[in-house]
Amino acid sequence: MKRVMLDWAMRFYIIQGVARGLLYLHHDSYGKVIHRDLKVNNILLDEKMNPKISDFGLAHIVEETQSLENTQKVVGTR
């Protein structure tokens, strides 16, 4: 399979989409979700190159009353 190089405009578009996804997970979703294993392999692109965050196997849901200071345990892929 031949790989296509992405230009910087498309890369920036993908980065912005991932950032919007993380903002939603951390601030706008019903339960605050911390992904804990975000890496290139866990970003999927659809046919229009819209990024989708995947693999929530290590995700942690934080309740509104919970302090984010308690999330200092190191997890994920090295």
- Does the 8-70 domain belong in CATH 1.10.3720.10? no
Residue 28 is among the residues annotated as catalytic for this protein: no
Rounded to 5 degrees, what angle do the CA atoms 22, 64, 71 make?
65
Choose the catalytic residue: 7, 28, 37, 46: 37
- Quick: pLDDT tens for 19-78: 998 888 888 777 777 767 778 888 899 999 999 988 776 766 676 655 555 556 666 666
Q: Which helix (H) or strand (E) holds 34?
A: strand 32-34
Q: Report the predicted TM-score, pTM, of the whole model to 2 decimal places.
A: 0.69
Phi, psi dihedral angles at 70 (to 5 degrees) = -85, 10
